[in-house]
Amino acid sequence: MEEDSRVVYYWGPLLQCKPLISSSSKYLLAVLESTIRVFNTSSGSLVKILKGHKHEIVGLALLEGVEDNFISCDETGKLCHWNLQRDVKGSPLVEECNVIERDTEKKCKVVNFLSCGNLSVVAFGIVEEDEEETKLLIYHSESTLKTLTRSSVELNVKLGHGKIALSPLGDFVVWLTKKKLVVKSLVSNDKGKHFIGLRTISCVACHPTQLSIATGHHNGLISLWYGLYKNPVKTELHWHSLPVADLAFSRTGAELYSGSGECVLVKWQLTENKRYFMPRLGMPIKYVLTDMKNKKIICAHVDSAFTVISARDYKLEGSIQGVSLSIDSVEPYPAGIVYDPRTRAIVLNGKSGHLQFYDLAHNKSLYQLDIVMENFTSDERDTKMFNTEVKKVAISPEGTWLSTVEFRDDFQSSIEIRLKFWEFDSQKQSWVLNTGIVMPHDKYVNGLAFDLSSKSPSTSICVSCSDDGKFKIWEVYDSSDIYKQSYTWSCQKIGVYRHLPATAVTIAPDGSLIAAGFANILTIWTTNQCHLKGTLSQPYLKESLKQIEFGRTANCGSMVMTRSENWLCGWNLFTCTLSWRVMIKSTCMAVDPITSYVVVFSSKCDALMFDTQNMQMPTRLENIITSPALCAAFIPREKKVALGTPWNEESQLFIIDKAQRLKLIEPKGDKHAAEAAIEGLVQKLVQDTVALPLPTPFSSLLAQTRASDVVDKKTSQVGSAAFGVRVQNSSALLLKVLNDARVYRLEGFATLAREYFQLIIPEALTSEEMEEKEDLDLRLKKLGENSEKSGRKLEETDSQTTETNAKKMEKKNKKKKIEMGLNSDFKDLLKIIDD
């Protein structure tokens, strides 16, 4: 059942440690887990991916003397020396070593790494896992990494970004403790400890040429410290209202740059006592970078985007954009992963209020589409500000229409919901807003889907569902006039069921049915008339449905998969039965649009791959990710690839985990070995389904009905009918009628019960009527032979004839009652049968 799998490529946060600008100012070095991404600062394109570490990298540092040389350090203390000027075919890795393992007896984890330009001083901030004690280790070196020797150890040091700073000249080091700021000279024995009071320091930066530092505080203040060893002199700079995220001096030290949550880069001209602003940079700033040649300034934002600014004229030069992160920590990437067939890119949440279109083939961001058309509102010091976010996204199969749902709730005023339909303008090569609907639903929208069978933009259908207990069908109508031809969207039909919240909705691949989940009940509706055709549920499945998916191929179009918090179920619409179920605590589900495979990710970082065509589990990927998956999607390949696993030949599986990393998962293993390992699994699932105890006799009867397609249970005929016709047990007949009824053609009770009536209503005389007729003929014959007794016999015959006519009348009335039952319900039918 297990099959080896691997993550062949991944995108994600580039901010796990402070990035670096190369000494030539040509490259930006950003860290993603154990790799280093090298971007061109002019074009913003990805140039190289450096792989030399096996653990997460915690710091980068430049090496002076040789251009574009730098050092990287991971959490185990491994150091790697890189040279970007090496030949493209050769490895940029120059040398590597690990001084922490050599000098430290206990197992520890490196959190901070700093190095001065000429490698004379190297500092490590570590935490020992056994005692959870934090230390600052300071090393000296003459030339190379392998000659590093420890010089001092400091205890009880705060670790993390901005808590430790090293002078670029290597003459002093600064660190924070719980209540003090400590400055230590690395040339002499001078050391200064300064009480910081209630002003919590958020970051520290060292002046490049002087014995001076700058500290940023949580209240937005910036302090410049002079005379650090004895009684320092402080100068305060104040503009920020939010905690200062990062500080950076220019190469000469004449300018200080600061960034915070206001999305504004502030330039402090220290020699002239002036300040300049670079506003509206998009998202809050996390890191501020300056280069050695004083040419560029780069701001790293919380959404993993980088803004390149000219240091000379203080103007924007460009941007570097990877996969944007979601700043919503409660529900990151609520729109999931959607495939755009026009650009062959994936669409997912970008920066606040935007959608990002990311080209996976060329590994670059195409553009960010502004959906909400509102400026980002930064948080205030003591107040959380709520921005409008994109919660749901759907794209029509031909790529002409884009549908989005916006939502905002500040828990004080009324909620804001907007449904927008965007049309792709082929001339402008951009999306244009076509229709905007304010408050399409009264509560949170749970689902949004297009009709996949639509081939024309003028016949597209979209469906949405909400906690207000409704799902709505939106259709395009012609709104052309004498000036131009145009189309507009409007709500045409509404479906409700028992006033339950509509938690999920989707449309069948052929467009004939709509599957909507109302709480724990799966309902099937016709798309054209919005008529309820049937409901599917089980008494023990009480959890609300979170996701509903149809089988996409022709052979599994009648299969519907439902996912709740702890159950994954497969329903067969042809037999209205529960085909299989699996108890699994899942986080997301994805269906391959080309093949019949569906994947479900569990909260334990496993993946279950089902084949909806034959109800088998061909592969199980265990521990393929380190954190649970938030959303997943199959993205079609440009060309089919011959691989050992059929689910990966025509599509690629992408996921986003809780660490906000986009990953491509590809298996490695033998298909036949995997299939042989899971033989008998489906039968076990079916047995578990049938053997589960049910609460009531009626639900037990339903369970037998639902399992009738896998358990061949024959019902024997018992007794004989009152009218000479042998029929089966009435309950078995009713079950047969229900099983033979198709949800696609469930027209009325008369059609379903016609076969039942034909069985119990004979077309000819019954045996009892024939016996009465023979008795009558015999009596008449005897009366003719014995004329003397004719008077008396005639009276007896009249009485018998009267009795026979009364029985015939009773029979006729009973037939009329049964004919009236053709248009009645089951309750009336059963009452007639009992009579």
Higher-confidence position of 617 and 22: 22
pLDDT of residue 681: 46
Give residue 709's pLDDT band: very low, low, confident or very high (50, 70, 90). Answer: very low
Range in 329-338, 399-408, 434-443, 697-706 with the lowest mean pLDDT: 697-706
3-class secondary-structure state, position 704? helix
- The answer on pLDDT for 451 being more than 60 is yes
pLDDT of residue 556: 73
Give residue 687's pLDDT band: very low, low, confident or very high (50, 70, 90). Answer: very low
On the CB side of 307, CA atoms within 13 Å amount to 24
3-class secondary-structure state, position 750? helix
3-class secondary-structure state, position 123? strand
pLDDT of residue 235: 93
3-state secondary structure 315-346: CEEEEEECCCCCCCCCCCCCCCCEEECCCCEE
Per-residue pLDDT tens digits for 258-278? 999 999 999 999 988 899 999
pLDDT of residue 722: 37
pLDDT of residue 767: 61
Name the nearest CA neighbour of 203 among 192, 187, 214, 190. Answer: 214
- The answer on pLDDT for 702 being more than 60 is no
pLDDT of residue 625: 79
Q: Taking each helix axis from N to C terminus, what angle separates 826-834 and 749-760, rounded to the nearest 10 degrees?
A: 20
Rounded to whole angstroms, how far apart are CA atoms 422 and 407? 17
**Interior angle at CA 96, CA 18 and CA 130, nearest 5:** 70
Across 442-466, average pLDDT: 92
Give residue 296's pLDDT band: very low, low, confident or very high (50, 70, 90). Answer: very high
Q: 643 — alpha (psi -120 to 50), left (phi > 0) or beta? A: beta
Find the length of the chain: 835
Across 178-191, average pLDDT: 90
pLDDT of residue 67: 86
3-class secondary-structure state, position 114? strand
Per-residue pLDDT tens digits for 523-541? 999 999 999 999 999 888 8
pLDDT of residue 89: 59
Across 410-432, average pLDDT: 93
- The answer on pLDDT for 26 being more than 90 is yes
Give residue 669's pLDDT band: very low, low, confident or very high (50, 70, 90). Answer: low
Name the nearest CA neighbour of 525 among 561, 455, 471, 564. Answer: 471
- The answer on pLDDT for 774 being more than 60 is yes
Across 439-465, average pLDDT: 93
pLDDT of residue 785: 65
pLDDT of residue 821: 56
Please tell me the pTM assigned to this model.
Answer: 0.77
Sequential DSSP letters for 624-689: -SSS-EEEEEEEE-SS----S-GGGTSEEEEEEETT--EEEEEE-S-HHHHHHHTTTHHHHHHHHH
Across 707-722, average pLDDT: 37
- The answer on pLDDT for 811 being more than 60 is yes
pLDDT of residue 766: 54
pLDDT of residue 215: 96
Per-residue pLDDT tens digits for 611-628? 877 666 556 777 777 888
pLDDT of residue 719: 39
Rounded to whole angstroms, how far apart are CA atoms 752 and 736? 10
**Interior angle at CA 759, CA 758 and CA 760, nearest 5:** 95
DSSP state of 2: B
- The answer on pLDDT for 832 being more than 80 is no
- The chain-wide mean pLDDT, for the chain, equals 82
Higher-confidence position of 109 and 780: 109
Cross-sheet strand order for the sheet of 487-496: 445-450, 461-466, 470-478, 487-496
pLDDT of residue 404: 97
Cross-sheet strand order for the sheet of 586-591: 586-591, 597-602, 607-611, 616-621
- The answer on pLDDT for 730 being more than 50 is no
Q: List, in order, residues 6 or more apart from 369 with CB less than 8 Å away.
A: 350, 354, 355, 356, 357, 422, 431
Q: List, in order, residues 6 or more apart from 137 with CB less than 8 Å away.
A: 100, 103, 123, 124, 125, 126, 150, 152, 153
pLDDT of residue 489: 95
DSSP state of 544: P
- The answer on pLDDT for 98 being more than 70 is yes
Q: Are strands 513-518 and 521-526 parallel, antiparallel or unpaired?
A: antiparallel
Rounded to whole angstroms, how far apart are CA atoms 198 and 183? 19
Per-residue pLDDT tens digits for 790-799? 555 555 556 6
Rounded to whole angstroms, how far apart are CA atoms 489 and 686? 44
Per-residue pLDDT tens digits for 563-592? 999 999 989 888 888 888 888 899 999 999
Rounded to whole angstroms, how far apart are CA atoms 664 and 661? 10
Give residue 819's pLDDT band: very low, low, confident or very high (50, 70, 90). Answer: low
pLDDT of residue 217: 94
Task: Yes or no: say if 524 and 743 are a contact pair by the CB < 8 Å rule.
Answer: yes
> Residue 556 belongs to what H/E stretch?
none
Name the nearest CA neighbour of 306 among 330, 323, 327. Answer: 323
Range in 168-182, 296-310, 718-732 with the lowest mean pLDDT: 718-732
Q: How many C-beta atoms surround the C-beta of residue 297 within 10 A?
A: 25
Q: List, in order, residues 6 or more apart from 788 with CB less than 8 Å away.
A: none
Cα of first residue to Cα of last residue in the chain, in angstroms, is: 57
- The answer on pLDDT for 257 being more than 70 is yes
Range in 160-169, 171-180, 543-552, 699-708 with the lowest mean pLDDT: 699-708
Give residue 770's pLDDT band: very low, low, confident or very high (50, 70, 90). Answer: low
Rounded to whole angstroms, how far apart are CA atoms 466 and 485? 32
pLDDT of residue 675: 45
> Residue 735 belongs to what H/E stretch?
helix 730-740
